[in-house]
Structure 1
């Protein structure tokens, strides 16, 4: 059995400031994958405070009473964002808590979520014409199965990814099977990359994927936030080049 306190990034469900107007929240473990074995995924959301103390909530995790108090202390949620078809589970509780916020859903979420999302979400499928354009760049990366929408926070030079790179630390995986799977899947720290199964969805779209990665590199990010595993607090450009060397070389 996985010891959640060992496998996650405590403290959980609380704001952690990593730059001016930028926080992460490390959430609980979720289990995802085939019926067996299911992979334990530590979760992470990102919160960005934009002009007017409006908050951009990326890939929301569980909303506890204490976290809601912290959120309301730093600003008002304006946008709640599901960045790909697999990152939607906690969106309904955030919408219920903050009904004035706009919910943006990446392509495929409504299909994937089925009855879990029973409200209208705005489409998150383009690169511009959002209220946040002057402070955040938006970049959809479309594979045959999933479109993931990436963001770049200009002022802090922070790139925000979801599943495009995963980086599981072996020390946080007590199971030999899980350590083996992450290594074979190319998602094990210190060499976390795009998961091999996700790469297959870009067969025939390598040029588009390469153009997207090159655009991220041109943004010159100082840090790269990931939803699963150890994120990159520095050397963002070098981490991108390393993670995508199979595509760029």
Structure 2
């Protein structure tokens, strides 16, 4: 069955999908934001067939496609080909990782904003091996991240459930333990996390696990980082 758009708030949608790597099936989420000018931003694209493409184009024109870190790129090239007029954005190092098999793109960096209207803010989390950039959609008070935090609730695929029981606190908004080893420059990385914690978000959309909503979202996010990298 083709994936479907699900509206989360005004001008923000998600698509729930899956992927298979080395025979292991996992869930993944794409986020789509529509700006005031009607243009669309696609974060961490999933597989997009003709039916889903029609649904997306009914929302507006796809103008920006983002691979948010060095691991969320599986469907990036296909998405860029489907929406050839969109600007593509990727972290430094992804072109080298994929041996140049990337569309023309701009590098994700705080000094090179994906959107300059103020509707979407971004922080490049430097000092961490996956080189993720996180985003804050201010109109909906939503933090958008790929792999910085998870919220697994037991409705995932069996192999995925087993994996995340091993790497994070299953059933809670929590961090995978490997952040401790992936943060090569902890002081630089934590400075970025501190900036992200200051955003007034009330929802967290991550690429894996249940979306977390509520006025405690920011507090829970902050608590999750306490002690992990100290």
Report if TM-score (shorter chain) is over 0.5: yes
Q: What CA distance in whole angstroms lies between the structure 2 residues aligned with 1:66 and 1:173?
A: 25
* CA-CA distance at 1:155 after TM superposition: 0.8
Residue aligning to 1:106? 91
1:15 matched to 2:5? The reply is yes
TM-score (norm 2): 0.89
Q: Is the counterpart of residue 201 in structure 1 residue 191 in structure 2?
A: no
- 190, 207, 225: which is aligned to 2:172? 190
Q: Which residue of 2 aligns with 1:214?
A: 194
Question: How many residues matched?
Answer: 229
Aligned counterpart in structure 1 of residue 156 of structure 2, from 172, 178, 200: 172
Q: Which residue of 2 aligns with 1:27?
A: 17
Q: Secondary structure at the match of 1:93?
A: helix
CA distance in structure 2 between the partners assigned to 1:43 and 1:192 by the alignment:
17
1:229 and 2:219 are equivalent in the alignment: no
RMSD, aligned CA: 2.3
Tell me, yes or no, if the aligned pair for 2:126 and 2:192 is still in contact at 8 Å.
Answer: no
Aligned to 2:109: 125
- Is residue 232–residue 239 contact of structure 1 (8 Å, CA) maintained in 2? no
Describe the SS at the equivalent of 1:71.
helix
Cα 1:199–1:165, aligned 2, differ >3 Å: closer, same or farther?
A: same
2:82 alignment counterpart: 97
Distance in 1 between residues matched to 2:189 and 2:100, nearest whole Å: 32
Any unmatched runs of 5+ in structure 1? 1-10
Q: Which residue of 1 aligns with 2:132?
A: 148
Q: TM-score, normalised by structure 1?
A: 0.82
Indicate the residue corresponding to 2:221 in structure 1: 240
CA distance in 2, matches of 1:180, 1:16: 27
